[in-house]
């Protein structure tokens, strides 16, 4: 018990020191922010690789496009999780970034998340690298649909499909369905073409224009803060390298190790909500 107390105190002291060094590194600079799944865990959305996260085998784009059974499995699981996913609310970390943007300290947010919580928190310049679950589009004619409207259609076409009160939600708002038998896959109401959520599947490339927008945000900023990302996805590493080559300060806030801790100016091993709130209080005072 005494050893646990000492370990907690030592970790708290290291965290406080790291935050102080991060504030010094970021003071007086305009910040680009890159966020990953870890920023949304306090909103009830689990991450992919954090401590305790279950091993997942996400559907690839090739599987989705090639197999009707795969699409049926996807849409059942996605619909079952949609209500809980859509009900998730921005947490203090999201709100802290929106506040810093309103004060002119944050230039914008680049996010690997598809939950839309930065937009709902009030951030105005948000680059959604991997798309958003708010929209669905037809792969044939390009018609775009609001996900809320699609959910109503799915319920009308599959009235037997009951959404449980509590679901083991995945990072993309999906669950593992027990059965897909009899499920009617939603189709485009314009041309009856295949519908796809407006997100980047595994095995799919980030749209070039989206990545250019993210690069421009980093290029126009004086520092990069990475919050809640383990940086396993290459897009995050590429943006970090853009900042490093310009010798910008790089601050990483994440529970546990990331792929680029050794490249950071400061690494803060802590939760994003607490740290970003501290930055939102400290940086405006010394801007």
In the residue annotation, 130 being an active-site residue is answered as: yes
Predicted local confidence at residue 164, as pLDDT: 59
**How far apart are alpha carbons 202 and 60 in whole angstroms?**
5
Contact 281, 55 (CB under 8 A): no
Place of tokens 């993210």: 214
Which pLDDT does position 179 carry in this prediction?
65
Q: Which of 199, 193, 176, 191 is nearest to 61 (CA)?
A: 199
Return the pLDDT at 58.
79
Residue 27's pLDDT is 97
* Nearest CA-CA partner of 280 in 121, 108, 93: 93
What is the reported pLDDT for 41? 95
Beta pairing partners, 109: 33, 126
Q: Is residue 107 classed as helix, strand or coil in its secondary structure?
A: strand
Q: What is the pLDDT of residues 156-195, one digit of tens each?
A: 999 887 765 555 555 555 555 566 788 999 999 999 999 9
Angle, vertex CA 220, rays to CA 219 and CA 221, nearest 5: 95
Categorise residue 108: left if φ over 0, alpha if ψ from -120 to 50, beta otherwise. left
**pLDDT score at 46:** 81
Residues carrying CATH 3.40.50.1220, the chain: 17-45+90-130+207-287
* 17-45+90-130+207-287 belongs to CATH 3.40.50.1220: yes
Query: 269, 15 in Cβ contact below 8 A?
Result: yes
Q: What is the pLDDT of residue 53?
A: 46
Question: What pLDDT sits at residue 166?
Answer: 56
User: Which residue positions in the chain have pLDDT lower than 50?
Assistant: 50, 52-54
**Of the listed 79, 94, 130, 140, which one is catalytic?**
130
Q: What is the reported pLDDT for 95?
A: 98
């Amino acid at each position: 018990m005494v050893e646990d107390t000492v370990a907690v105190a030592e970790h708290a002291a290291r965290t406080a020191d790291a935050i102080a060094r991060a504030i010094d590194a970021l003071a007086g600079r305009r910040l680009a922010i890159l966020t990953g799944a870890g920023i949304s865990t306090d909103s009830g959305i689990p991450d992919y690789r954090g401590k305790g996260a279950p091993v997942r085998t996400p559907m690839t784009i090739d599987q989705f496009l090639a197999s009707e059974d795969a699409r049926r499995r996807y849409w059942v699981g996605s619909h079952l999780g949609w209500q809980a996913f859509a009900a998730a609310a921005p947490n203090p970390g999201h709100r802290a970034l929106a506040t810093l943007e309103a004060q002119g300290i944050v230039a914008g947010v680049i996010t690997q998340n598809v939950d839309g919580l930065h937009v709902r928190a009030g951030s105005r310049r948000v680059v959604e690298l991997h798309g958003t679950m708010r929209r669905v589009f037809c792969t044939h004619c390009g018609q775009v649909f609001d996900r809320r409207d699609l959910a109503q259609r799915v319920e009308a076409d599959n009235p037997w499909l009951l959404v449980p009160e509590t679901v083991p939600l995945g990072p993309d708002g999906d669950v593992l369905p027990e059965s897909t038998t009899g499920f009617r896959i939603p189709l485009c109401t314009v041309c009856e073409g295949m519908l796809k959520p407006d997100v980047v599947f595994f095995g799919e490339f980030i749209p070039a224009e989206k990545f250019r927008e993210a690069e421009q945000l980093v290029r126009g900023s004086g520092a990069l803060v990475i919050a809640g990302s383990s940086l396993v996805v290459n897009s995050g590493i590429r943006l970090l390298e853009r900042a490093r080559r310009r010798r910008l300060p790089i601050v990483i806030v994440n529970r546990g190790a990331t792929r680029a801790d050794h490249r950071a100016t400061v690494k803060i091993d802590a939760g994003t909500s607490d740290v970003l709130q501290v930055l939102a209080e400290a940086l405006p005072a010394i801007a």
